[in-house]
Structure 1
Amino acid sequence: MARKEIAPGIGRLSRSQVYARRQLYKGRKTGTAPAKPETAPTKEVQINGTKNGGTRLIPTSKAPRFYPAEDVRKPKQSRKTAKPTKLRDSITPGTVLILLAGRFRGKRVVFLKQLDSGLLLVTGPFKINGVPLRRVNQAYVIGTSTKIDLGDLKIDAKISDAYFVKSEKKRTRSAEEEFFADGKLKEKDPFPETKAADQREVDKAVLSVVKKTEYLAKYLKASWGLSKGEYPHQLVF
């Protein structure tokens, strides 16, 4: 593949694009290296000769010929501590947000709470616009002036960052073999019923409030976008 460069030393493609085009993922090694057997620090050697007869203990690894000119540098210790992400003042529980990135960009969602990682827990609700319980970064949302009174809505403690972690499954075959196995497409794993129940439980309280306000359901269902000549910094949300 001919290398295209914007300038000397600056390529047009990113590292991930080069990784995909050269298909380097096919040669990726996923196995673990075998453990090396432990060797003793010294070994016993037989010394021949009339005057030197007997055995001696010598080190198994040969010492370097020269000592290093400088001491071994110690890694610099970072004194920085992770601080919790500060939530924007305009984002409070019940605030309607506009997603700017991801699969559901342009959708309006309802903010529920901030997780320990700093990400925002939002819901569509799913029955209105198809957006399920998701984690989003507050850098990729627009907070609107529309707010829903959630009252004393309490989110189950189990819906945390660990709730959204996917379990890794080891593949016995390659992705291509699984895709074309027996001439059939690979079947997707069914959605867990427990998570579907959690979605219904959370949306139940949100939907009860949405139905009380006229046109609010249509507002959440409508997608957002910019037309020609519109600029986000000139709009009031």
Structure 2
Amino acid sequence: MPAAAKKPSRPRNYALSSGVYRFGRGKVYHKKALYKFIKKGQTKKRPERLPARMVEKPIGGEKNGGKRHVRVKKLPAYYATELGIKKRPSKNTYSKHKRSLRSTITPGTVCILLAGVHKGKKVVFLKQLESGLCVVTGPFKINRCPLRRVNQIYLIATATKLDLSDIALPKTLNDNYFKRVKSSRAKKEEGDIFDQKKEKYVPSEQRKKDQVEVDKQVLDAIRKREDKKTFFGYLGTMFGLRNGQYPHAMKF
């Protein structure tokens, strides 16, 4: 008899249909005993148990349940709108801006104030501070305008100038010199709502002394002029416009 023909062998895990096999990945893993060939170092350790977030605490009271679950670590009361914000110093801060001054305003220029308590008065420009503000004076003896800081946009420079080449201004005349010191408020108490009064500004003794010193030098410079009487009257009068007078058509 002829020898029986051998059946074609096929793998144990064969495809039953397209993409579907007889045994799954887990079954093949155990059949082949692949767990014996995996090194010990490659096995992942189970993560340790995290500490409990909630703790059970007894609660007093008849209708409070007797106990309650409370967080070990309280949640923050403030949440940032955006995470990972890095604070970077600005390269173009206002303090680093270049301070410019109009060419018409020079030390000794008589200017007209356009804003503030002393608006309409004529003042003498002394110098420009680091902040860009201008230091002016009345003088105080003539029109009651003391040493003040003014933005140059509120000054109209006139053609009248005073020679202040010999004047020596105090070295302390800076931006901090003009800052007002705010007194600390008392804590709110019952019955003191209507008793609070606004503090009236009183110039310091140093400021009074500097005012007298600066005004003395400015007045001495005015007395050296030939038209000193007219100049004193000019500084003492207020600026105003009459009917038919337009500032854009005037030359100061």
Query: Please, what TM-score do these two structures have when normalized by structure 1?
Result: 0.64
| Residue 120 (1) aligns with residue 134 (2) | yes
1:158 aligned to which of 130, 149, 172: 172
Note the residue ranges of structure 1 that are not aligned, 5 or more in a row: 1-42, 47-57, 63-69, 180-185
Residues in 1 aligned to 2:208 and 2:87: alpha-carbon distance in whole angstroms: 48
2:208 equivalent in structure 1: 196
Residues in 1 aligned to 2:119 and 2:193: alpha-carbon distance in whole angstroms: 29
Q: 1:133 to 1:60 in 2, by over 3 A?
A: same
User: Superposition pairs for residues 4-83 of structure 1, below 5 Å?
Assistant: 45=52, 60=73, 78-81=90-93, 82-83=96-97
Q: 1:176: how far off?
A: 3.1
2:122 aligned to which of 80, 100, 108: 108
CA contact (8 A) 1:84 1:117 kept: no
2:195 equivalent in structure 1: 177
CA contact (8 A) 1:211 1:217 kept: no
Q: Secondary structure at the match of 2:229?
A: coil
2:222 equivalent in structure 1: 210
Note the residue ranges of structure 2 that are not aligned, 5 or more in a row: 1-49, 54-70, 76-81
Residues in 2 aligned to 1:116 and 1:214: alpha-carbon distance in whole angstroms: 35
Q: 1:230: how far off?
A: 1.5
Q: 1:44: how far off?
A: 5.0
Residues in 2 aligned to 1:209 and 1:189: alpha-carbon distance in whole angstroms: 31
Q: 1:153 to 1:128 in 2, by over 3 A?
A: same
Residue deviations 1:82-133 (CA, integer Å, cap 9, x gap): 3222010000000000000111000000000000100000000000000000
2:61 equivalent in structure 1: none
Residues in 1 aligned to 2:119 and 2:201: alpha-carbon distance in whole angstroms: 25
Q: Which has the larger radius of gyration?
A: 2
CA contact (8 A) 1:108 1:224 kept: yes
What is the identity percentage for the equivalent residue pairs of Structure 1 and Structure 2?
46
| Residue 168 (1) aligns with residue 182 (2) | yes
2:246 equivalent in structure 1: 231
Residue deviations 1:20-64 (CA, integer Å, cap 9, x gap): xxxxxxxxxxxxxxxxxxxxxxx9549xxxxxxxxxxx99478xx
CA contact (8 A) 1:107 1:224 kept: yes
1:138 aligned to which of 145, 152, 160: 152
Residues in 1 aligned to 2:83 and 2:206: alpha-carbon distance in whole angstroms: 58
Q: Secondary structure at the match of 1:201?
A: helix
Query: How many residues are matched?
Result: 172
Q: 1:142 to 1:231 in 2, by over 3 A?
A: same
Residues in 1 aligned to 2:246 and 2:204: alpha-carbon distance in whole angstroms: 41
Q: 1:158 to 1:215 in 2, by over 3 A?
A: same
Q: Secondary structure at the match of 1:142?
A: strand
Q: Secondary structure at the match of 1:118?
A: coil
CA contact (8 A) 1:93 1:113 kept: yes
Query: Please, what TM-score do these two structures have when normalized by structure 2?
Result: 0.60
Q: 1:210: how far off?
A: 1.5
Residue identity matched to 1:123: T
CA contact (8 A) 1:95 1:145 kept: yes
Q: Secondary structure at the match of 1:139?
A: helix
Residues in 1 aligned to 2:124 and 2:193: alpha-carbon distance in whole angstroms: 37
